[in-house]
Amino acid sequence: MKSTVILAVASAFAPLVSAHGYVTQAVVNGVTWPGWNPNVDPYLSPTPQRIFRKIPGNGPVIDLSLIDVQCNGYTDGGFATAPAALSANVTAGSTVSLTWTQWPDSHKGPLITYMAKCPGSCTNYSPGTAKVWFKVAQAGKSSSGVWATTPYETLPVPAYTFTIPSGLAAGNYIVRHEIIALHAAYVYPGAQVYPSCFQVTVGGSGTRAPASSYLVSFPGAYTASTPGIVYDMYTNTGTYPIPGPALFT
């Protein structure tokens, strides 16, 4: 009874904060996995088992020195980057689809995807500030000035897709996907990071692993002096330097 009331109140408030967004699902090897729904899942008992790590809501992380920038989460709520219960099987070289809530047209910016290998299972691993993240996909601004977020502003929202690097070493990985919204990024703090993490198990006999020069930490990878973190999208008509390390493909 009590949880029903809380759920109704949370749902009633949801439209007021709908000007941000989050990932609602992943399709991995043909299996659809729901995201962590911050308006519903915290109020369910038992807690739903997801491949996605929990997020506190649809809002951004702006202080990029916080652990929140890793996988979203409350710094003071005790579950920042806490592992999820499940992991999706995936084949190296295959395409993964992610669905965002309809993206606000004011929030232009890049979409970037990282992976990190878990030493064993990802269901009991959080990287903390270790340099374990490598970039597997990125999209910023096209030569004609179209931002990577633009397709996701219109209903029905198309799927974002990226490819698990072919030949990637078998094992368990956390995928960290994000949009960085630049509408206030002309100063630091200002850029809004919307991270989302989920767990996959890469099968097969691949052995490829990124060299250490490809690896970064979250927090750590993005600071006030990182190209693309401070960027005036209103006056800068040139190329956009996508933040983070070189792409591992």
Task: Pick the closer one to Cu ion by CB: 126 or 149.
Answer: 149
Nearer to Cu ion, 61 or 88 (CB): 61
DSSP element (H, E) containing 117: strand 111-117
Quote the least distance from Cβ 104 to Cu ion, whole Å: 6
Mind giving me the DSSP string for 139-198? E-B-TTS-BTTGGGGSSSPPPEEEEPPTTBPSEEEEEEEEEEE-TTTTSSS--EEEEEEE
Nearer to Cu ion, 85 or 187 (CB): 187
Nearest position to Cu ion, beta carbon: 20
Which residues are CB-neighbours of 77 under 8 A, at least 6 positions away?
Answer: 56
Minimum distance, C-beta of residue 124 to Cu ion, in the bound complex (Å): 33
Is residue 179 within 8 A of residue 195, CB to CB? The reply is: no
Report if residue 20 touches Cu ion, rule: CB under 5 A.
yes
User: CB of 158: closest distance to Cu ion in angstroms?
Assistant: 20
As measured in angstroms, the least distance from the Cβ of 204 to Cu ion is 39
Which CB atom, from 20 or from 131, has the smaller least distance to Cu ion? 20
Nearest to 112 by CA among 136, 82, 87: 136
Work out whether 183 is an interface residue with Cu ion (CB under 5 A).
Answer: no
Interface residues with Cu ion (CB under 5 A) are: 19-20
